[in-house]
Structure 1
Amino acid sequence: MPTIPFRIDIPLVPESALGNALHFIDLLRSANLLARLRLGNQAPRMDWRLLDADGRPLPTAPAPWSHYTTAMPSTEGPPGSAQAVFIPSFLAADIPAIRQVVARHPALVRQVGIAVDAGQKLLTMGDGAWLAAASGRLQGRTASLPWFYMAGFARDFPGIALVPGRDWTDDGPWLSGALPHNLVDLAIALVRHAFGEELARAFATVMAPDHQRAQAALQANAQQHIPATRDSTLARAIAWMEAHLEEPYSLERLAQAASVSTRTLLRHFQAELAQSPLDYLHALRCARAKVMLEVTLESVSSIAVACGYADPAAFRRIFVRHVGTPPAEYRKRHALRAPRRRWRVEVAGG
């Protein structure tokens, strides 16, 4: 059975450096992908929530922001409390401005204190350490800050030690990074805490620049020492579905194309993708339908047929299940083509 996701809360205030938060989420996605590649459907996973200053989840935004405001879909039961909190840096011009940001958000300061008391991991980037320190729960800890903030921080929080020359610090519940490039260091440390040492080492290897390894990979590929991805049951089945998307679904024909029995095919899909071949086919068809709704003026009925559905009503039900909105509504929101009536050109003098 899949494990419960490790959840990270990312509170944002109007002054937050949004780029820090988005980059950190990209790193979490990369860690999840690596874990899935190594361990398959049983891999551990990290989820995240973007919150406002009062701890309320931010509403889901349209693509591409939806990839950040919504974590990877979870099937492990109801969401639980977070196990870590990440505070990005602030867009503040100077130290007095940082102090004003902290003073404007006492509710968030209290939430950080509650998180530390609950044993959650606390991660801060740059001057986000001010807000964490204001919680009063980090006395006697060590932190990393950019050198130009150190004097002011030391005056405000004399009970917290700063280590010159160290870009990031892992001190008990508190992981602090001085500069944006330390987001990778924080992510690796969090992977170690959430996933264990083995996956953390693999993640660190993937994230570290290595020009010699890149050159060696190119040379090995040129000399054909690295073969192409090997054939597999799933690859054969998926390739056949993609080539026969509009044809009626037949589990027997699909299994024949994959050179396995129907039972074996179902087992592979469930073990690797946690879904049936038919569910996967519906997702492929809905992906085609989304493109056609966006870039063509074909009717919904015609698109249904082009995507393998003889019954437009069945197509609408499946589209809503996979996309979350009816086809007509999706077109209204995402169409890249104007309606035909807007194409009409008035004849001069007509």
Structure 2
Amino acid sequence: MPRNFVIELPCVEQSATGHAAHLVEMLRSANLVAGLRLGRRAPRFGWHWVDGHGRPLHAMPHGVEGRAAEGPVQAVFLSPLHCPDIPSIRDIVATNQTITRRIATAFDQGLAVCTLGSGAWFAAAGGRCQGRRVALPWYFMGGFGLDFPDIELAEGQPFVDDGPWLSASHPEALASMAVALTRHAFGDDLAAALAALLLPDPQRERATLAALQDRRIPATRTSVLAHAIAWLEARVEQPYDLRALADAVSASPRTLLRHFQQELGYSPLDHLHRLRCARARVLLEITLESVPSVALACGYEDASAFRRVFVRHVGMTPAAYRERHALRAPRRRWRVAASEV
């Protein structure tokens, strides 16, 4: 099983959570790159939004998606604070000791601690950062240097990766933080792939434009898997024929089965069942056709076989699904048309 990497995102009332959401979007990009390269074997980033006491926060950006990647917390990200001045930052940190203790524990456990801008105060207040370097905006350096003289201020560096402490001075450096987290979590190869996606590269831009002008970049061809899925989607109600499907995409049945299993985790027949069940759900919701008629419209001549497949993929019988989700009133409740009165 892939080893996921989960990041905790503590938030208080004054937290600039939009910056944390921006980091989450970059971690979603890392998940996308990992999935494209490794398929179902790919490790994933997860993220947990929590309040100042570590309790889950609901209705945060992509919160459900972040919790779907199971695993122990491996990092903590501290957003900058919306404050008018440095004394206000000090007051907020002083009144949120739970976060300070959490960060100190994270350092003790060897977790990565990530900070953006004034979020560095929380990391430093835990007393575990002596001798380390931090990236800060210039306007925070004076106050931070007075509060924590044992921490080195990284002049002119928007991002610093100093062991367990990853710090960014400005939001523009969050891309470098996402790449560094990917390197910490999943290694150099995926980090390099993400860097190519997130970080500007003028040299590559010039090379790409030159190759395009020289007609060296061909159109991307449809993959065997995508071609097969499109073929099935156009023939949902037709009998399943693996050989015909393989011939249509110019692959052997064995190769086709391998593509489906590696990338999706199931067979072409399973995918066809999913497509048929998706159609059946629509018909059950918006029509009054009988279950055998719905089964036939979805490629099942045997209504009993249709019921078994539907229960396996949807979790309930077709009749129960219609009872719960139907958008049409039962026929006995239809209103008489005005012309029939």
Q: TM-score, normalised by structure 2?
A: 0.78
Return the alpha-carbon distance in structure 2 between the equivalents of residues 156 and 145 of structure 1.
14
Find the counterpart in structure 2 of residue 150 from structure 1: 141
Which of 177, 181, 192 is the matching residue for 2:183? 192
Q: Does 1:298 align with 2:286?
A: yes
- Is the 1:169–1:175 Cα contact (8 Å) retained in structure 2? yes
Change (3 A) 1:289 1:189: farther
SS for the counterpart of 1:127 is helix
Q: Does 1:42 align with 2:41?
A: yes
- Is the 1:122–1:173 Cα contact (8 Å) retained in structure 2? yes
Tell me by how many angstroms 1:174 deviates. Answer: 0.4
Find the counterpart in structure 1 of residue 86 from structure 2: 95
- Is the 2:159–2:173 Cα contact (8 Å) retained in structure 1? yes
Change (3 A) 1:226 1:288: farther
Find the counterpart in structure 2 of residue 127 from structure 1: 118
Tell me by how many angstroms 1:89 deviates. Answer: 1.3
SS for the counterpart of 2:286 is coil
Change (3 A) 1:71 1:183: same
Change (3 A) 1:40 1:299: same
Describe the superposition over 1:122-150 as per-residue Cα deviations: whole angstroms up to 9, x where unpaired: 10011111111121221222111111112
Tell me by how many angstroms 1:239 deviates. Answer: 1.7
Find the counterpart in structure 2 of residue 337 from structure 1: none
Q: Does 1:240 align with 2:225?
A: no
Change (3 A) 1:160 1:318: same
Tell me by how many angstroms 1:30 deviates. Answer: 1.5
Change (3 A) 1:162 1:211: closer
Describe the superposition over 1:200-252 as per-residue Cα deviations: whole angstroms up to 9, x where unpaired: 23322332223453354345345432222335431321120232245455545
Tell me by how many angstroms 1:187 deviates. Answer: 1.1
Return the alpha-carbon distance in structure 2 between the equivalents of residues 320 and 300 of structure 1.
21
Change (3 A) 1:281 1:88: farther
Change (3 A) 1:228 1:174: same
Change (3 A) 1:215 1:169: closer
Identity of aligned residues (%): 47
2:204 partner letter? R
Structure 2 unmatched ranges of 5 or more: 328-341
Q: Does 1:6 align with 2:1?
A: no
SS for the counterpart of 2:66 is coil
Tell me by how many angstroms 1:289 deviates. Answer: 8.0
Which of 103, 107, 113 is the matching residue for 2:98? 107
Find the counterpart in structure 2 of residue 343 from structure 1: none
Q: TM-score, normalised by structure 1?
A: 0.76
- Is the 2:19–2:79 Cα contact (8 Å) retained in structure 1? yes
- Is the 1:220–1:226 Cα contact (8 Å) retained in structure 2? yes
- Is the 2:131–2:152 Cα contact (8 Å) retained in structure 1? yes
- Is the 2:2–2:43 Cα contact (8 Å) retained in structure 1? yes
Find the counterpart in structure 2 of residue 318 from structure 1: 313
Q: Does 1:210 align with 2:205?
A: no
Which of the two has higher C-alpha Rg?
2
Tell me by how many angstroms 1:186 deviates. Answer: 0.9
Find the counterpart in structure 1 of residue 52 from structure 2: 53
Tell me by how many angstroms 1:36 deviates. Answer: 3.0
Tell me by how many angstroms 1:20 deviates. Answer: 1.1
Return the alpha-carbon distance in structure 1 between the equivalents of residues 215 and 234 of structure 2.
29
SS for the counterpart of 1:124 is strand
Structure 1 window deviating more from structure 2 (257-266 vs 88-97): it is: 257-266
- Is the 1:309–1:315 Cα contact (8 Å) retained in structure 2? no
Find the counterpart in structure 1 of residue 163 from structure 2: 172
Find the counterpart in structure 2 of residue 161 from structure 1: 152
1:229 partner letter? T
Find the counterpart in structure 1 of residue 65 from structure 2: 70
Q: Does 1:117 align with 2:108?
A: yes
